Structure 1
Amino acid sequence: MAKVNRARSTSPPDGGWGWMVVAGCFLVTICTRAVTRCISIFFVDFQTYFSQDYAQTAWIHSIVDCVTMLCGLGFALCYSPAIAMVGKYFSRRKALAYGISMSGSGIGIFILAPVVQLLIEQFSWRGALLILGGFVLNLCVCGALMRPITLKDDQTTAEQNHVCRTETQGFQRASPSSTWTKEWVQTCLCGSLQQEYNFLLMSEFVVLAISVLFMAYGCSPLFVYLVPYALSIGVSHQQAAFLMSILGVIDIIGNITFGWLTDRRCLKNYQYICYLFAIGMDGLCYLCLPMLQSLPLLMPFACTFGYFDGAYVTLIPVVTAEIVGTTSLSSALGVVYFLHAVPYLVSPPIAGWLVDTTGSYTAAFLLCGFSMIFSSVLLGFARLVKKMRKTQLQFLAKESDPKLQLWTNGSVAYSVARELDQKDGESVAIAMLGSNPT
């Protein structure tokens, strides 16, 4: 096999071939996330053809989403690596790059929603799925754009791993059956794994992981039940598909504008808070949804939910990188998207069961809304506790050593410190004179 030429760089280039990687990731999100979310347009056709209730039919969409996030199968082999590659190529413009990349989901929904409805009417749901399958083959083209890049941190890690492998091979050749050699091999392997996944022991990442579970539970059912809900209140099939298109195009605006805004100097240090705000706003939209009983009311909902959905999706990699750093970003993103799997699997069927049991969408939407709000509140509380603890530690450090106390006037601080040093010197001299009277 031909060797892959790796681009050498000491820091993320923030441009160059990175924009081609962004284009590739953009197409990947169209072919994966947009196609998956358009499955909701097939919902009523599946339900009618197979004569199943909401809970049973919802498993189709939930299994697709779950397998994408859980395994190394299908869409998962494209989605997570493409997102991680964008993080490798960008640092200063990371939020904007992710905004453009993730906007493929919204653009895909905007274009595919009416197209899929038209395909179903012309070729039935079987023919529409076959055509979508051919469209998804463009993922092969996207993969060709992903050129590996080696950063400074990656070079350091690779050199450490190379040294470890070299020493291990030398010990194995010298004494292949030695107990000490086996222990050394195990130590090297454990050290490599620990270095790669040490972020799993970070309390801040654990809190992020828990919040992702609740956020993922809340975000998934809307893309399954928005079209059926619209149909249940008297909206036509074409109008319901148009709602999905609105959701998609506003999602694009949210992706790009929110990424651009949070890259500005005034908001650069508040990306974490912006992420919490976006999730909380989507939760509030869910709580209002059962009161919206007509198309003119559903359209503002689709705009608001779509914008903040695109906003927080853009910031997931940014927030993850802020917590774990660039070196472990690929592995950390893999874990974060892996955690989406179980909520994606169970939330649409649970929502369907609530609809079947209560005869209304209210309970399902309220549960999703409170789940997303709890995710936002949990992360906000964790960040507040971290800041309070940091402030307390700084205060204790100042109290323990008066020389470390800070004043606004630097000359005063210097003179006080000098006086303390003089007093220490005088006390030492007096003690020495007292011990030696001659």
Structure 2
Amino acid sequence: MATPKKVLLSSPPDGGWGWMIVVGCFLVTICTRAVTRCISIFFVEFQTYFAQDYARTAWIHSITDCATMLCGLGFALCYSPAIAMVGKYFNKKKALAYGIAMSGSGIGTFILAPVVQLLIEQFSWRGALLILGGFVLNLCVCGALMRPITLKEDHKHPPEFLEQEYVSEAQKQDLKQLSICSPLIKPWSHECLCCCSWQEYNFLLMPDFMMLAVSVLFMAYGCSPLFVYLVPYALSVGVNHQQAAFLMSILGVIDIVGNITFGWLTDRRCLKKYRYFCYLFAVGMDGLCCLFLPVLQSFPMLVPFSFTFGYFDGAYVTMIPVVTADVVGTASLSSALGVVYFLHALPYLVSPPVAGWLVDTTGSYTASFILCGFSMIFSSMLLCFARLAKKIKRTQLRSFTRDTDTKQQIWTNGATAYSVSGDLDQKDVEILATEANR
């Protein structure tokens, strides 16, 4: 039976089946990120039923988020691969594709927040979780939409034994026996394996990626507690249960607007080269929203907050894969995204309980929200200063190179050195004259 051949594409198709990948990723974000956000609505129910403080109850949400980003378990098996697949299929329309795909988180939150509140009232929190579990089974349908794609850049420097896409079973058995029996084959195979691993993860030594990774730690710490404590905070200032759930719905639907519009805007030619700074701006604006949240103590005042925070949350969530791709390239995007989302795990695990401990200790949400705000602002400023420092260094290097090229345009005549542009200083002339005399 003839073995099907994989087609190597020179560049991502930017369409075709790629839009089905976007749809699949869209559904994945609904079933994972939106469902996780709705745990904020369960927070008060858990706290009342189990009679625990804020810090202990927050572990339920933080462990869920941490496991999604840290392990190969549960939502993690769906979320990270789906995000990486979109980056494989799109290049020119990458930000727009990610905007549509990631908007599932906002749409899911908009729909599920009031529905979950209704389910809790009708079937208690146990029944509501059971129904959500059945809904999440739709991830199986999302997985059926995913089709791997192979780009030529993925095979830039393949080892000789990996150049063939398919190897017969007999060849596999021969290779296996050789690797077991021959002591000479073992070092060779290990060397090839190390070479593949190095090519896949060499982005870890890139200064730009290291700065992005550090900033992600602070950004993830700042964004997580708000989705846990927005509903409890609203209830604490006198907002009723339906209005508190509606705040999450507003945040979710504006999140969609942020996903799509910010993705579309940053794909425009005038903003495409400034996508990095657009990401920093969105993160910084979310930080400012957190700083002002303790002042807002009524439903009419919390509605504008949900609008603003939701928009910029959707904006920077869309930009994370885009910025990562700009830093490491498309070939390493899957591995780099895995590392970036892995770095979300520790802040997601720690920040909600820490925020809960601050609420238990101080008796208010002010300290928790201020800490979150400063954490996100610091994340934005860190990347901004890193990019500015790189730009200054590049300008200095360019100036130095220009001066060097000018000084090389000389010729000697006996003991005298002449400069084409007359820009050489006296010391350089003396050194060149000495060399000429030799």
Same fold (TM over 0.5): yes
Distance 1:4 1:362 in 2: 61
1:172 to partner: Cα distance: 7.5
Q: Which SS does the other structure have where 1:266 is aligned?
A: helix
Determine if contact 1:215/1:371 at 8 Å carries over to the other structure.
Answer: yes
Give 1:363-382 correspondences, 5 Å limit: 363-382=367-386
CA distance in 1, matches of 2:284, 2:204: 25
TM superposition shift of 1:183:
2.8
- Range with greater deviation from structure 2 (118-127 or 8-17): 8-17
TM-score normalised by structure 2 residue count: 0.89
- Partner residue in 2 for 1:333: 337
Q: 1:300 to 1:96 in 2, by over 3 A?
A: same
Structure 1 residues 401, 330: CA separation in 2 closer, same or farther (over 3 Å shift)?
Answer: same
- In the TM superposition, residue 176 of structure 1 has moved relative to its aligned partner by 3.9
Offset at residue 189 of structure 1 (A):
1.6
The alpha-carbon deviation at position 182 of structure 1 amounts to 3.3
Matched position secondary structure for 1:332? helix
Pair 338,132 (structure 1): closer, same or farther in 2 beyond 3 Å: same
Distance change in 2, residues 1:41/1:175 (3 Å): closer
Between 1:350-359 and 1:156-165, the stretch displaced more is: 156-165
Structure 1: gaps (5+ residues): 406-415, 418-426
- How many residues were matched structurally? 411
Deviation at 1:4, TM superposition (A): 8.8
In structure 1, give the amino acid aligned to 2:12.
Answer: P
What residue number does 2:305 align with?
A: 301
Question: Does the aligned pair in 2 maintain the 1:7–1:147 contact within 8 Å?
Answer: no
* Residue equivalent to 1:43: 43
Specify the alignment match of 1:53 in structure 2: 53
Q: Does the 8 Å CA contact 2:159/2:192 hold for their aligned counterparts? A: no
TM-score, length basis structure 1: 0.89
Distance 1:160 1:78, change over 3 A: farther
The residue number in structure 2 matching 1:104 is: 104
Deviation at 1:174, TM superposition (A): 9.3
1-side partners of 2:9 and 2:389: how far apart? 38
Q: How far apart, CA to CA, are the structure 1 residues paired with 2:4 and 2:69?
A: 27
Within the candidate set 270, 273, 276, 1:266 is matched to 270
| Residue in structure 1 matching 2:323, options 319, 322, 327 | 319
3-state SS of 1:197 partner: helix
Does residue 1:251 correspond to 2:283, yes or no? no
Gaps of 5+ in 2: 410-419, 422-431
Name which of structure 1's ranges 265-274 and 396-405 shifts more when overlaid on structure 2: 396-405
In the TM superposition, 1:24-35 aligns within 5 A as 24-35=24-35
Residues 2-56 of structure 1 deviation map (CA, whole Å, 9 limit, x = unaligned) = 9998564221010010000000000000000000000000000000000000000
Counterpart position of 2:79: 79
1:230 is aligned to 234
Q: Distance in 1 between matches of 2:111 and 2:222?
A: 25
Flag the 1:35–1:171 CA change in 2: closer, same or farther, 3 A: closer
User: Which has the higher mean CA deviation after the structures are superposed, 278-287 or 8-17?
Assistant: 8-17
**1:190 and 1:218 mapped to 2: Cα distance?**
37
Report the counterpart of residue 152 of structure 1 in structure 2. 152
CA RMSD of aligned residues (A): 2.7
**Could you tell me how far 1:203 is from its partner in structure 2?**
1.0
Cα deviation, residue 402, structure 1: 1.0
Measured in 2, the distance between the counterparts of 1:133 and 1:110 equals: 18
The CA deviation at 1:395 is 1.3
Letter aligned with residue 22 of structure 1: V
1:181 CA drift (Å): 3.8
Show the counterpart of 2:427. none
Which SS does the other structure have where 1:223 is aligned?
A: helix
The 10-residue stretch of structure 1 (158-167 or 302-311) with the greater mean CA deviation from structure 2: 158-167
Question: Structure 1 counterpart of 2:281, which letter?
Answer: F
Aligned counterparts of 1:245 and 1:105: Cα–Cα separation in 2: 11
Distance 1:262 1:223, change over 3 A: same
Dislocated runs of 4+, deviation >3 Å: 2-8, 155-161, 163-167, 169-178
Is 1:173 matched with 2:197?
no
Q: Find 1:284's aligned residue among 281, 288, 295.
A: 288
